[in-house]
Structure formats: structure tokens, C-alpha cells
């Protein structure tokens, strides 16, 4: 088994076997999947959504001394980012912040109409209506309930119900949600329900730190991150995804890189093999040309004739035995330059795609090892051995899964990082080559050690003698530590030496976590928060659950 370990990797080994075991087992013990003391990702279910929303509302209500609908208006305006709201409050002051969000200061407007008036003229329909049929908003504008209701219905149907503005000309004040709900429910109860649902879901739809789980079928959960939106998370349903773009977890690719790569794979991967086998590029227009006859003189749709054997441009004259004024029996450097230029991009894509696909396939094959590993561990546990802890097997398996996934996605990253699609003006050719060599060296080291770990994990170690099991255990533990360090080095290189040095572009990637993608936990909401939930919130919850 020692043959699998090369001397060039001594730098990654620890001074003793016990040091390696202690470090790795402390890092990846049976409690490795337990959430940290302060989890940065929380699950928000339908039941806890109201509590999470209410928690932010109460915080703003207490801080700003405002009513609930004013707090909601402020939070929607600042996309439910309480910290940003507080920063604007400190920087610009309360009055400026309220004006920008369309909130009228409490107490600035007299909401009561004069008692001496029995009717009031509505400036919208120009009718005199009883005072009892008139509603006045916080901004002071007063219109009849019929006009208000029609205005609200139009806005709700247009999908603008989260922030319905006053009807008055150039007034940006947000209407009181209680008034909206009261007037609309009298004429269209279904639209009132829709209005409540929009307010209810705005906590997720308008909140950059909270997003729905993209699982199919939908699990009904949303996830909330506390620190950075550029991260990868795992929902309680088991779905792992990139929180920023909601696609599958794709680190170390940036979201833009992954979007371009998946589109390119959909558009090209199915045809790449066929094009390579059945066509050759035209030496004039570089389009792929298919040969549909036995003659080696072929013609492109652009009118250019060329030799199928060598790809060189020719005249159209030919005999049964040869093409006029053409011989491809001799090797000529000049005739291949244009054809090679046309092939270069395709071959480069094939290089990265084939390796990406190979490691993706390996990951899928290795995922089937779970049951096999369970059987091997059971066989080892039934034996009379002084070793009773076989967590090194499952730890090594999970390390293999995580690192294989990272290695797979490192190829799309390299395709765009060192190509001309995204960063053509960011690096000189010499700088690009130096950085590419640095990255590929790390990539090859990681690939080599992952393959070694895969071999040891797949071995029938449950049939080995106790001494051989100990040796396998040491190899798996050491390789796991090596791979973890190599992954850290690769991410450090990407974040600092590659993406960090860009001047005209900004690409963010999810950070590397030794223990894998963080699993979200259910938030703990205080009892006072739940008790403070008002009837409107409860009604919205009931409607959503229905």
C-alpha cells in the first residue's frame, strides 16, 4: 500500500501518525455535522416565517417608535436589511430616511376630518360624499372609499400591492395596509387575501438574505443567511445549492461562470463529439463541413473547395485519382494554420468539458459506495479487534465526496479564468500563463491525491488482517488531511492570486469549508415574539397554510 504514496508529498504529512490521527479525528469526529454555536444559516418554514418576519418588524418598531405598517414599509424599501436601515438612520437621520421610503412622520398630519362637515368632495371623482365614506392617509390626502378601493384593486392586480402609493399627484407616501385590507375585503375578499399573501411573502421576495429553497418538488422552506449571501447552503430537505444564484452548489466557480458553463454545455456538449468525428472546418470560413460522398474533394456552402484528407484549400478541378495542382502526401506547415485556429476553441472546450464530465461521473459512481462502506464497517465490527472506532472510513468517504465535487467544478473555473471570454483585458499573455501554471499544479496535486483516496476507500479492507487495516486507516487519514490542505490552498489561490487581482471584474465564490456545506438549522424565536403576533399576521398564516 505504501506504493500509492509518493515522496513528493512529504510536505503535506505530519511528523507522526498519531498527530495526523489526532488532528483529523478532532476535526471530523462523529459530531462533524452538528451546527456551530452560532449558525450562519437558518431554515424558515411556513410556521416560522411569521415569527422571523415579526422579529424584524418589532426591532424596527422599537427602534424608530413607529407603527407596524410604517416599519414594514421601511423594511421593504431597504429589502428587509435591518443593519442597512440602521446605518441610513444614523447617517441621514429619521426625516430623510422616512421621506425616501414614503413614510409620513407620525403626528405630522391631523387624521380627523372636521366634525362640522357632513360631506366632502373627492378630488378624483369630483363627487360630494358623506364623511363616513371617506378615508384619509398618513400623508393627509383624503379621497372617497370607492376611488380608494378601485385604486387598490388595480395595484393589487398589477402586482404592486407590497407598496401601494397614494393617489394624489406626485405623492410618494405608502398607503396604510390596514386601510387597504379593510376597503378591498368588502368588495373582493379574494384580492384582500392576495394582498395579505404579498405582504407575507415580501419577507422572502424582497430580502436578499432570505430565499426560497429551489428543491423540486418544493419543500416549502426558505433559508436565511446571517453574514454573506455568497455561500453554499443545505436545506433541511437535503437540497444543496448556491445561495446567491439558487443553482446547484458550484464552488469554486463564480455564479456567472457557472451560468455560462451550463448554457454552453446545453448548447454544445451533445454535438461536440459528433462534430469532431464527422466534420472538418472549412479553411476559408472555418465552419464545420460534413462529407456526404466518397470523393475527398469537398465544397463548403461559402464556395470554398478543400481536401478532406488534409483540410487544405484547393481548386475544383480533379480527376478520378487526384485533385488538380494539389498533393497532401507531403507535410506542409503553412496550410494548417487557419484550420488549427478554427479548431483551437473547440478543442479547448472539449479538454475542460471531458475532465469536468469524468470527475462528475466519478462522483456519481462513488456516491454508491455508501451502502458498500456500511457493509464493510459492519463486517469489521463483528470481528474480534482492539479497534472499535471506524469513523475514519466514513470521514474519508465524505472527504472524497466533497473534494471530488470541488475538483469537478475547478475545470469550468479554469476554462473561463484562463480563456478569452471573461478576462481578456485583465492579464497579459505572460501573466495568464504563469497563473495558469500555478493553478494547474495545484489542480493536479489535488486530483492525484483524490484518486489515491478513492482507491483505498474502494479496497476490500474488511477482509484484511488487523495490521493491514491499521495501515489502510493511516493512509485514509493522511490522505484526507492532505486533500483538505490542498483544497484550502486552491481556494486561497483563487480568492487572492486569481480573482482577487482582477481590476475590471468582480467575481465572488463561496468560501471553502473543511466540514462541507453548512446545513441550515431552524431559528429559535423568543416566546415574546410569538405572543406579540397580531391577528392580521395570524390570518395571513392561516390563508397560506390553507
Is the model's pLDDT at 242 over the cut of 80? yes
Supply the pLDDT for residue 301: 85
Contact 396, 476 (CB under 8 A): yes
Q: With CA atoms as reference, report the closest residue to 487 among 437, 447, 526.
A: 447
How sure is the predictor about 443, in pLDDT bands with cuts at 50, 70 and 90?
very high
Alpha carbon distances (Å) from 355 to 102, 343, 362, 447, 453: 54, 18, 10, 11, 18
Supply the pLDDT for residue 545: 38
Q: What confidence tens digit (pLDDT) does each residue in 319-378 have?
A: 555 566 666 655 555 545 555 655 677 788 888 999 999 999 998 888 888 888 888 888
Mean pLDDT, the chain, integer = 80
How sure is the predictor about 523, in pLDDT bands with cuts at 50, 70 and 90?
low
Q: Does 244 or 268 have the greater pLDDT score? A: 244
Supply the pLDDT for residue 39: 61
Q: What confidence tens digit (pLDDT) does each residue in 124-148 have?
A: 888 888 888 899 888 888 999 999 9
State if pTM tops 0.85. no
Supply the pLDDT for residue 13: 34
Contact 426, 65 (CB under 8 A): no
Range of lowest pLDDT (150-159, 160-169, 179-188, 405-414): 160-169
Q: HEC profile for 8-60?
A: HHHHHCCCCHHHHHHHHHHHCCCCCCCCCCCCCEEEECHHHHHHHHHHHHHHH
How many Cα atoms sit within 13 Å of 29 on the Cβ side? 7
Q: What confidence tens digit (pLDDT) does each residue in 55-84 have?
A: 889 999 998 888 888 898 898 888 888 888
Could you tell me which residues come within 8 angstroms of residue 196 by beta carbon, excluding any fewer than 6 positions away? Answer: 181, 536, 539, 540, 543
Supply the pLDDT for residue 219: 86
Q: What confidence tens digit (pLDDT) does each residue in 103-123 have?
A: 876 454 455 555 567 788 888
Distance between the two ends of the chain, CA-based, in angstroms?
Answer: 61
| Residue 537 annotated to the active site | no
How sure is the predictor about 234, in pLDDT bands with cuts at 50, 70 and 90?
very high
Q: HEC profile for 324-354?
A: CCCCCCCCCCHHHHHHHHHHHHHHHHHHHHH
Q: With CA atoms as reference, report the closest residue to 392 among 376, 404, 405.
A: 376
Query: Which among 96, 125, 295, 302 is annotated as catalytic?
Result: 295
Q: What confidence tens digit (pLDDT) does each residue in 160-170 have?
A: 778 898 999 88
Burial pattern 180-198, b for ≥16 Cβ within 10 A else e, equals bbebbbeebeebbbbbbeb
Could you tell me which residues come within 8 angstroms of residue 150 by beta carbon, excluding any fewer than 6 positions away? Answer: none
Q: What confidence tens digit (pLDDT) does each residue in 270-326 have?
A: 566 567 667 888 888 878 888 887 777 888 888 888 887 777 787 766 655 556 666
Q: What confidence tens digit (pLDDT) does each residue in 21-65 have?
A: 444 444 443 334 334 345 678 888 877 888 888 888 999 999 888
Query: 207: which 3 cell numbers?
Result: 430580502
Mean pLDDT, rounded, for 397-406: 93
Is the model's pLDDT at 217 over the cut of 50? yes
Query: 66: which 3 cell numbers?
Result: 413607529
Amino acid at each position: 500500500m505504501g506504493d500509492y504514496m509518493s515522496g513528493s508529498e512529504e510536505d503535506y504529512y505530519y511528523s507522526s501518525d498519531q498527530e495526523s490521527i489526532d488532528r483529523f479525528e478532532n476535526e471530523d469526529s462523529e459530531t462533524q455535522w452538528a451546527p456551530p454555536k452560532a449558525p450562519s444559516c437558518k431554515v424558515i418554514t411556513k410556521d416560522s416565517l411569521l415569527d422571523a418576519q415579526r422579529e424584524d418588524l418589532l426591532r424596527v418598531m422599537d427602534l424608530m417608535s413607529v407603527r407596524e405598517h410604517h416599519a414594514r414599509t421601511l423594511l421593504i424599501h431597504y429589502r428587509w436589511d435591518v443593519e442597512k436601515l440602521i446605518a441610513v438612520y444614523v447617517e441621514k437621520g429619521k426625516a430623510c430616511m422616512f421621506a425616501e421610503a414614503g413614510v409620513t412622520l407620525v403626528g405630522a398630519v391631523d387624521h380627523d376630518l372636521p366634525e362640522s362637515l357632513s360631506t366632502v368632495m373627492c378630488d378624483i371623482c369630483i363627487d360630494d360624499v358623506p364623511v363616513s365614506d371617506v378615508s384619509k392617509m398618513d400623508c393627509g390626502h383624503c379621497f372617497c372609499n370607492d376611488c380608494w378601493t378601485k385604486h387598490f384593486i388595480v395595484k393589487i392586480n398589477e402586482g404592486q400591492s407590497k407598496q401601494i402609493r397614494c393617489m394624489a399627484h406626485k405623492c410618494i407616501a405608502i398607503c396604510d395596509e390596514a386601510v387597504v385590507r379593510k376597503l378591498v375585503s368588502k368588495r373582493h375578499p379574494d384580492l384582500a387575501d392576495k394582498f395579505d399573501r404579498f405582504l407575507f411573502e415580501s419577507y422572502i421576495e424582497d430580502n436578499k438574505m432570505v430565499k426560497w429553497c429551489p428543491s423540486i418538488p418544493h419543500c416549502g422552506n426558505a433559508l436565511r443567511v446571517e453574514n454573506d449571501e455568497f455561500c453554499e447552503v443545505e436545506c433541511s430537505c437535503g437540497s444543496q445549492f448556491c445561495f446567491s444564484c439558487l443553482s446547484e452548489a458550484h464552488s469554486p466557480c463564480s455564479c456567472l461562470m457557472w451560468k455560462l458553463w451550463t448554457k454552453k454545455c446545453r448548447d454544445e456538449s451533445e454535438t461536440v463529439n459528433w462534430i469532431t468525428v464527422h466534420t472538418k472546418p472549412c479553411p476559408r470560413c472555418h465552419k464545420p463541413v460534413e462529407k456526404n460522398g466518397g470523393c475527398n474533394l469537398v465544397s463548403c456552402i461559402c464556395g470554398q473547395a478543400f481536401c478532406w484528407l488534409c483540410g487544405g484549400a484547393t481548386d475544383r478541378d480533379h480527376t478520378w485519382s487526384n485533385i488538380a495542382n494539389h498533393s497532401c502526401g507531403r507535410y506542409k506547415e503553412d496550410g494548417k494554420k487557419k484550420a488549427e485556429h478554427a479548431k483551437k476553441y473547440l478543442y479547448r472546450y472539449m479538454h475542460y468539458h471531458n475532465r469536468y464530465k469524468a470527475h462528475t461521473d466519478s462522483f456519481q459512481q462513488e456516491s454508491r459506495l455508501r451502502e458498500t462502506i456500511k457493509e464493510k464497517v459492519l463486517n469489521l465490527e463483528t470481528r474480534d479487534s482492539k479497534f472499535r472506532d471506524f469513523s475514519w472510513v466514513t470521514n474519508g468517504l465524505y472527504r472524497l465526496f466533497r473534494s471530488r465535487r470541488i475538483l469537478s467544478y475547478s475545470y469550468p473555473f479554469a476554462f473561463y479564468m484562463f480563456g478569452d471570454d471573461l478576462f481578456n483585458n485583465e492579464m497579459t499573455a505572460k501573466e495568464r500563463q504563469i497563473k495558469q501554471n500555478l493553478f494547474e499544479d495545484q489542480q493536479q496535486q489535488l486530483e492525484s491525491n483524490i484518486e489515491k483516496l478513492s482507491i483505498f476507500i474502494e479496497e476490500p479492507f474488511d477482509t484484511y488482517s488487523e495490521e493491514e487495516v491499521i495501515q489502510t486507516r493511516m493512509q485514509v487519514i493522511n490522505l484526507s488531511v492532505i486533500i483538505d490542505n490542498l483544497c484550502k490552498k486552491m481556494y486561497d489561490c483563487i480568492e487572492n492570486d486569481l480573482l482577487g487581482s482582477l481590476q475590471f471584474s468582480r467575481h465572488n465564490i463561496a468560501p471553502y469549508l473543511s466540514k462541507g456545506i453548512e446545513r441550515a438549522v431552524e431559528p429559535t424565536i423568543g416566546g415574546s415574539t410569538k405572543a406579540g403576533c397580531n391577528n392580521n399576521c395570524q390570518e395571513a398564516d392561516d390563508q397560506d397554510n390553507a
